[in-house]
Amino acid sequence: MLALSVFLAACATSPKATTYDQLGGASGIEGIVDALLEKIVEDERINFQFADADIVRLRSMLIEQFCAESDGPCTYSGLSMQESHAGRNIDDAQFNALVEDLIEVMTVRKVPVGTQNRLLKRLAPMHGDIVEP
């Protein structure tokens, strides 16, 4: 009986938790983006791409985008992925490097793998607009 009520309680609460909540809400996402930007700066596979980047804007756009893509209370107001990445010659290896950095950051911050995968699943379709054909 105890097991049943624990099970029912879990069923009653879990559908309400969005990926945004599971990422730790606004402060969780800010922490992830800050750690990701630090990691990118150290990552010699991709840091040259960000040499002239406006990091303050990039930070706020990534926070907004991750919030929106995790079904949080935000609307992404930045450039499209095609506009912001066109002409940069980003290849698969660079794309994968950034995703790898993001996974590492989320893992260190103890984001559950299922939550990581839900966010990554929303970002993955952007590959075609970011990577040069």
Closer residue to ligand HEM in complex, CB, 8/113: 113
Cβ-in-10-Å burial (0-12, 13-18, 19+) of 36 comes to buried
- H helices within 14-112, ranges in order? 19-22, 25-42, 55-69, 81-85, 92-108
Site for ligand HEM in 21-50 (CB under 6 A): 46, 49-50
d(CA 4, CA 27): 34
| Binding piece for ligand HEM, criterion CB under 6 A, among 9-17, 26-34, 88-96, 108-116 | 88-96
Query: Is 62 among the residues that bind ligand HEM (CB under 6 A)?
Result: yes
| Rounded Cα–Cα distance for residues 11 and 123 (Å) | 28
Binding residue numbers: 85
Binding site for ligand HEM (CB under 6 A): 46, 49-50, 53-54, 57-58, 61-62, 65, 78-79, 84-85, 88, 90, 94-95, 98, 123, 126, 130
Mark the binding-site residues for heme, compressed into ranges: 85
